[in-house]
Homo-oligomer: A and B are copies of this chain.
Amino acid sequence: MASRLLTRLSLHSLRSSLSGCRHVSKAAPQAQMEWDYDGPCMKTAVPGPRSQKLLKKLGDIQNVVAINMFVNYEESRGNYLVDVDGNRMLDVYTQIASIPIGYNHPALHKLMVDPNNLSTFVNRPALGFMPPGDFPDKLAESLLSVAPRGMSRVQTMACGSCSNENAYKAMFIWYKNKERGSSSPTQEDLTSCMVNQSPGSPNLTLLSFSGGFHGRTIGCLASTHTKAMHKLDIPSLDWPMAPFPRLRYPLEEFTRENAAEEARCLEEVEDLLEQGRLKGRPVVGIVVEPIQAEGGDNHASVDFFKSLRNIARKHGCAFHVDEVQTGGGATGKFWAHEHWGLDDPADIVSFSKKLLTGGFYFKDELQPKEPFRIFNTWMGDPTKTLFLGEVLNVIRRENLLEEVARSGTALLQGLNALQAQFPGVLSRARGQGTFCAVDIRDEPTRNKVLLKARDKGVLLGACGDRSIRFRPALIFKEYHVAMFLNIFNDVLAEFK
C-alpha cells in the first residue's frame, strides 16, 4: 500500500543525480519553491568533523549533551537545514516546531532590509511601560488578526514558559478577585503574601494532565508531567494531575474503548476538582494541550474537550488551552483547538514557537485591573511581532493552511501505509494536518530509527517514550511528504 501511494505521487521512479553526496536515499523532484533546495545531500556522518570540533569548544562553556550538530543557517533554505559540515537535511522537526515558513524565507529577508524597521531592532522597549507608537497597530495586524474566537485581548511575552507562568498568574488573580467581589484585599492578605504565607499566598492549585508539558520554569514545571529528568530535584507545588486519555488506534476499531477511557479521565477530573474544594485547596484553572506534544502526541476527541470545557465552567475554573506547540497552523487550522468547533472554547490561550513571540490571549475578565501584576521589563519583543506579521502575510498569500491540510492527509496516509507494511515496527499513526506522529516498537529502536533517518538526510524529533513526531514547517508540500516517505521507507526496511 505504501508503494502504491508513492507511485501515485509519481516519485518512486525519480532518482536524483545529486553529485558529491555521500547518501541520497531516493528521488527528489524539482522544487516548486525556487528558494528551496531539491533534496537532502549528506556529505559526512552527523555530527561531522566540524560539528564535533565545535561541540568540544562549546562544551567548555555549557552543557552540550542535547546538541545534535552545529548549523549553517546562512545556507539553510526552506525545508532544508544545512549543517556546518555541508550536510543538507530535510527538516521535519524545525527547531522543535518553531520555524513557521522555513529557513531564510525571502519575505523575511525583505523585511530585514527595509530601513523603516531598523529602529525596532535597535531599540528594545519596555513594552508594558513605553511601547512604540505603532504597537497597537502591529498587534492588530499580527496577533489579533488570528485571535481565537471570542478573544480580543492579548499579552506578549518573551517565551513559552513566561507565557504560561503569566497566564497562570492571571487565572489566580482572576479567581481571588471573583472571591473577594467588591472587597479589597485585607491587611493580612497584604502582609502574609510578602513572606509567601497564606492567606495572601493562597493555597490554590491548577489542574494539569499526565503527559502534559507546559514549560520548565518552576510554576510551569508544577503542571508538566512528561519525564522525570525534567522535574527531579526541583521543589514543586502540590497541584493535582488528572490522567489524559490513552487512545487506542486505529480509532475506528476502538470507538467504545476510547469513549470509556475518555469518560474515566473526565470522571477523575471532576473528582479532583471536588477533592480540591473539600480540602480547601480549590482548583482555579485547568490547563491542557489540544494535542499533548512532548508527552507523546496524545490526542483526545472533540467530545472530550467539549466535556472538559463544560466541567471547567461548571466548577468555576478558568480553562487554559496551551497552544505553544500546536498553534500557528501545523494542524491545518491556525489554532488546533479550532477543530473542536466550540463557541466558547477557552478563557486563556497561550502560544510561542511558530508565533515567534510568546504570549497569551485572554478574556476581558482575566485582565487584572491593577498595573504591574502581569508585568516584566520587556514583555515580549516587537521585532518578533514584526516577523509574525510578515509570516501571517505569507500564510495567507500562499494559502499555507490549505497546503498543510493537503500535505497532512498525504503524510498520515503514508504513515498508515508504512504501518501496514512494517507492522512489527510502526503503530498508532496519528495526526492532524502535518502535526503527525507514529510509535516505534520500543525506545531503543525509536532512537536508532531517528539516527538512521538523519544519516539519510531527514531530521525527525522524538516525543513520549517511543514516538516520533513530525513537525515540518508550513511550506512542507506534498512532494516533500513523498520524499520523506521514500526515505522513511528505506530506514524502516532496515528494522523489519
Contact = CB atoms under 8 A, between A and B. Distances in A.
A80 to B, nearest CB: 12
A126 B191 contact: no
A113 B122 CA distance: 11
Given A235-B237, A376-B160, A67 B230 contact: no
**A203, A205, A233, most chain B CB atoms within 10 A:** A233
A352 to B, nearest CB: 7
A378 interface: yes
A377 interface: yes
B368 A352 contact: no
A360 B235 CA distance: 20
Contacts of A108: 122
A229 B369 CA distance: 11
Interface residues of A, number: 123
Interface string A62-98: 1101111111111010000100100000000001101
A470 interface: no
A217 B122 contact: no
A66 B129 contact: yes
B54 A133 contact: yes
A202 to B, nearest CB: 6
Interface in A219-273: 219, 222, 225, 227-239, 241
Interface stretch (A148-156, A313-321, A479-487): A148-156
Nearest to A72: B133
A218 interface: yes
Number of copies: 2
Contacts of A232: 173, 176, 185, 189-190, 193, 200
A204 interface: yes
A218 B61 CA distance: 28
A229 B195 CA distance: 13
Given A95-B129, A200-B232, A70 B238 contact: no
Contact of A61 (B122, B126, B154, B194): B154
Given A62-B154, A98-B378, A130 B196 contact: no
B231 A124 contact: no
A370 B233 CA distance: 13
A104 interface: yes
B372 A239 contact: no
B71 A132 contact: yes
A226 B230 CA distance: 30
B118 A109 contact: yes
B229 A131 contact: no
A23 interface: no
Instruction: Across the A-B interface, give the 10 residue pairs with the lowest CB-CB distance, nearest first.
Output: A218-B219, A65-B371, A66-B371, A201-B236, A196-B236, A176-B233, A165-B217, A84-B133, A190-B228, A95-B126
6 contacts: A57-B136, A58-B131, A58-B135, A62-B367, A193-B231, A193-B236
Interface of A: 50, 54, 57-58, 60-63, 65-74, 76, 81, 84, 95-96, 98-99, 103-105, 108-109, 112-113, 118-126, 128-133, 135-136, 139-140, 144, 152-155, 158-162, 165-166, 168-169, 172-173, 175-177, 185, 189-191, 193-197, 200-205, 215-219, 222, 225, 227-239, 241, 352-353, 356, 367-378, 383, 387
Given A60-B153, A158-B162, A230-B372, 9 more contacts: A54-B133, A57-B136, A66-B129, A70-B133, A113-B113, A161-B165, A165-B216, A200-B228, A202-B233
